[in-house]
Amino acid sequence: MTLSYVYTSDALRKAFFKYVQSIHPTCSDRTIQTYVSNAMFIVNALSEASLSKILSSESWTEEIENYMMNTVYGDILAMRKYPVKDTKDHVRDFKMFYTFMQMVKVLEQSRLEKPRDIRMTMHGNT
């Protein structure tokens, strides 16, 4: 996925944190930070080609899910104490990041299009 604006990893992490807060308003900041850290762990662990291919996909497919489960389990988390649970948690959190990045992509595309002329009218005003 190519974005016309370069987002620093810190800015992206902060924006993703706010996004997760908005979809999980009852979760503590610590829990949200865990979700963000898990997702960023996967972002940093995947090859640039794999990450780009996944993030440029139009939708989260079963193929992506299987690839993520196999790659994360086999290449990244296999030596952990609870590798299956950790893999599921990390893939779940990365899927939230994927959804977030799809929204970023839509916003980015709209920034590149010519803005529409929007006129607001108030009651009694033209």
d(CA 108, CA 17): 19
DSSP label at residue 117: -
Write the CB contacts of 68 (distance below 8 Å, at least 6 apart in sequence): 42, 54, 91, 94, 95
User: Rounded to whole angstroms, how far apart are CA atoms 55 and 67?
Assistant: 13
**pLDDT value at residue 2:** 47
Report CA torsion sign: 84, 90, 92, 98. negative
List the chain pLDDT tens, one digit each, 126 residues. Answer: 444 445 678 888 999 999 999 999 999 999 999 999 999 999 988 988 999 999 999 999 999 999 999 888 887 777 888 888 999 999 999 999 999 999 988 887 776 665 555 454 455 544
- Residue 115 belongs to what H/E stretch? none
Question: How far is 73 from 86, CA to CA, in rounded Å?
Answer: 8
* Beta-carbon count within 10 A of 82 CB: 10
Long-range contacts of 21-24 (CB under 8 A, 24+ apart): 23/96
